[in-house]
Amino acid sequence: MSNYSDQFLKQTPLAVLGVLRDLQKGQVPVRISWPGGQFISKILDVNTDALTIDFGSQEYENKAVQRAGKITIAAETHGAKVEFTVAQLSSGDYQSLPAFTTPLPASLWFIQRREYFRISAPLYPAYFCKARMPDKSLLRFRLFDLSLGGMGALLEGNAPESLKEGQRFTQIELDMAAWGQFYFDAQLISISERTVVDGKNETVTTPRLSFRFLNVNPAVERELQRIIFSLEREAHERANKVR
């Protein structure tokens, strides 16, 4: 979490309370994660004294999270990503049903979608991706740009007829060379075209794909943030050399 810019950090009790109340009112699913496990829940109540979260569906997970320390709670809305940590979740009750309770967090990260910084991928080295189509055929494409929320890609050839906007892909492989390999569940948001004029003054059109990442865990997201910052720094260094 420390890799996020401080401009996205909410630290006043009123601001923290406001964000969490919006999640509660919207019945937004929240991911409870700790070393060794995670589950999906929802916020039942929040006030200046405490945050109350519903029990998970599995009893062993409910017991395990109570033994854990430094628990990460994250939520994705249409407009923003929210993430914060708590030291402990204690067993309590809410309206006569079992629930977790914890003091209101002192701060949280609130990153609006429009503030997801997007960096263009370098031409060299090129980073390539692989995805399995529903018919098990392999789809190959090159990374075009990258953000915490998703990526843009260029196809190596024509788009298959079976490729449709809205399709979901499981475990897309992103090979970032020295950075390592990453695997994402993602949804194809749009199919468009990228048109450029090459050195021969000829127009070249390439299918462009836009993906939204699904269910990226905090550890991978922090690594992505580190890569994005590094690529941004390298881009600035190249631009300064040109000047």
Tens of pLDDT, residue by residue over 203-233, are: 778 899 999 888 777 777 778 877 887 887 7
Residue 57 half-sphere exposure toward CB, CA atoms < 13 A: 4
Q: Which residue in the block uniquely carries the two structure tokens 């039942």?
A: 44
Question: How many residues are there in the chain?
Answer: 243
Q: Are 109 and 81 in contact (CB under 8 A)?
A: yes
Higher pLDDT, 213 or 77: 213
Q: What pTM was computed for the model?
A: 0.52
Tokens 């998703």 belong to residue: 150
pLDDT tens readout for residues 122-179:
777 889 999 999 888 999 999 999 887 889 999 988 888 889 888 999 999 999 888 8
What's the whole-number mean pLDDT along residues 191-199?
78
Q: Exposure pattern of 30-68 as b/e (b: 16+ CB <10 Å)?
A: bbbbbeeebbebebbbbeeeebbbbbbeeeebbeebeeb
Which pLDDT band, with edges at 50, 70 and 90, does 4 fall under?
A: low
- What are the Cα distances from residue 68, in Å, to 3, 38, 143, 184? 23, 11, 37, 26
Please tell me the predicted confidence (pLDDT) of residue 178.
84
State the pLDDT at residue 46: 96
pLDDT of 113 reads 59
